[in-house]
Amino acid sequence: MATVGKVIKCKAAVAWEAGKPLVIEEVEVAPPQKMEVRIKILYTSLCHTDVYFWEAKSQDSVFPRILGHEAAGVVESVGEGVTEVAPGDHVLPVFTGECGDCAHCKSAESNMCSLLRINTERAVMIGDQKSRFSINGKPVYHFLGTSTFSEYTVLHVGCLAKINPQAPLDKVCVLSCGISTGLGATLNVAKPFKGSSVAVFGLGAVGLGAAEGARLAGASRVIGVDLNPARFEEAKKFGVTEFVNPKDYNKPVQEVIAEMTDGGVDRSVECTGNINAMISAFECVHDGWGVAVLVGVPHKEAVFKTHPVNFLNERTLKGTFFGNYKPRSDLPSVVEMYMNKELEVDKFITHTVPFAEINKAFELMLKGEGLRCVIRME
C-alpha cells in the first residue's frame, strides 16, 4: 500500500480541553514502530469511560488528547516484529492488552497483563514514550493505548484482537469494550448458576451486557437497578425481569433487594461507577454464598466502606476489567457467539452518527439516552 512507512494525514476528533466539544482536526499519524500496528478505524462508539476522561472531573486527564477505545477497523500496516496480524486483517482494539509472555498472560485466571494492562495515565506509546499523533509538529496524546476517534490510529499489537472477517464491523465494534465487559463480568466472574437471581446495577450497555450474560447462564430472576426510569422499558429486551429505582424508596436499595429475594440475590454485578451503588451491590448479595462483582470505573477519590462482618457472613466481593477476557485469546470467540446468534448485539446499538457529529454521541450519553451510539468514520 502507498501509505506503508509514511505519515498519514487524516481526520481525528481532538479533545483540546476538559468538557469542551471535540474538534475534528487534520492530524498526522506516524507509521507503526516495533511491535505496533496502524489501523484504519471504520466504526467507533462511545463508552462512559471516554466521558469521564473527557470531563476530567472524577479523573485526571491529559490534553490535547484523542479519546475512544470501543471500535472496529482494518490493519493498514505493521511495524517491525509484528507477525500476529497483517494488512487487511479485521481487528478490534482493546483498552487492555495481552503480551502473551508475562505471568498474568500465562495464568488461566488473569487478564491483567504486566506490560499492557489498562493504564489511564499513559498518553504515549510504550515502546519509545512518544505519541504517534501530531498537529503542526506538536504532539496530541493517546488514550488507553487505543485512541479510536481518529481515521487512523497506532496500537501495540497486544491490544488488537484479530476477528472473523465475515463479522459486520458496524455491529461488532461494540464488543471491543462495554458489552464484552458486562457479559464477561457475569459469565466469567460472577458465574451465576442455573435458576439463580442476579441484580444488575446500572442499565447502560455494560449493565445490559451483564444482564445478557445472566440470561445465557440461565438465571431465573434478573433485577435491574437504575436511577433513570427511562432505562427500564429498554431493559426488558435484555431479559431484565424486575426493576428497582433506588429513588422510589426511603431505605437503602440493598434492603429492598433483600426483601424481594428472601435474604439477598445470589449474584450482583455493578456497572455504574458510583461508589454507593458499589457498596449496595455488595451488601445486597445473600450471606453464605452471594458474590458481587464491581465493573464501574470509580471516582479517583472513592473509598469502599462496609462492615467486615459482611465478609465473615460469607459474601464475596470481586472486581474485573474487560470481564476477565484476555483480549487476543478470548475476544474472537465472543465475536463468534454473535455470529452463531447466541449473543444479541444489534439491540445495544440505539443510535448511529457520522464522524462529523461525534459530539452528539457525548450529548446522548450525558442525557442518559440510548445505549450505544456508533460513529461511522466514512
Q: Which spans of this chain sit near ligand NAD (rule: CB under 6 A)?
A: 47-49, 52, 177-178, 181, 201-207, 225-228, 231, 246, 271-274, 276-277, 295-297, 321-322, 365, 368
SS3 content of the chain, % helix, strand, coil (to 5): 30, 25, 45
Residue 150 C-beta: closest distance to ligand NAD, Å: 20
75 vs 297 by CB, closer to Zn ion: 297
- The alpha carbon of residue 244 and the mean position of all alpha carbons in its chain are separated, in whole angstroms, by 24
Three cell numbers, residue 258: 433483600
> How far apart are CB 190 and Zn ion at their closest, in Å?
19
Cβ-based burial of 165 (10 A; exposed 0-12, middle 13-18, buried ≥19): exposed
The nearest distance, CB 177 to Zn ion, in angstroms, is: 3
**Chain centre to alpha carbon of residue 132:** 23
Do the strands 291-294 and 267-270 form a parallel or antiparallel pair, or are they unpaired? parallel
Q: Which is nearer to ligand NAD, 154 or 275 (by Cβ)?
A: 275
**Residue 276: which of ligand NAD, Zn ion, none does it interact with, CB under 5 to 8 A by kind?**
ligand NAD
Residue 74 buriedness (CB in 10 A; 0-12 / 13-18 / 19+): middle
Integer-rounded Cα Rg, in Å, for the chain is 20
Residue 209: closest CA among 295, 316, 109: 295
The site partner of 30 among Zn ion, ligand NAD, none (C-beta below 5 to 8 Å per kind) is: none
Give the catalytic positions in this structure: 47-49, 69-70, 99, 102, 105, 113, 117, 177, 372
Residue number with CB closer to ligand NAD (33 or 274): 274
272 binds, among Zn ion, ligand NAD, none (CB under 5 to 8 A by kind): ligand NAD
Classify residue 138 as exposed, middle or buried by CB count within 10 Å of its CB (0-12, 13-18, 19+).
exposed
Binding partner at 227 among Zn ion, ligand NAD, none, C-beta below 5 to 8 Å by kind? ligand NAD
3 state DSSP class of 15? strand
The Cα angle at residue 301 between residues 297 and 306, in degrees rounded to 5: 80
Question: Which residues of this chain interact with Zn ion, rule CB under 5 A?
Answer: 47, 49, 177
CB of 148 to Zn ion, least distance (A): 10
**Choice between 133 and 143, CB closer to ligand NAD:** 143
Smallest gap from Cβ 328 to ligand NAD, in A, equals 16
Q: CA nearest 59: which of 124, 144, 117? A: 144
**Residue 203 binds: one of ligand NAD, Zn ion, none (C-beta under 5 to 8 A by kind):** ligand NAD
Q: In the complex with ligand NAD, which residue's Cβ is closer, 93 or 202?
A: 202
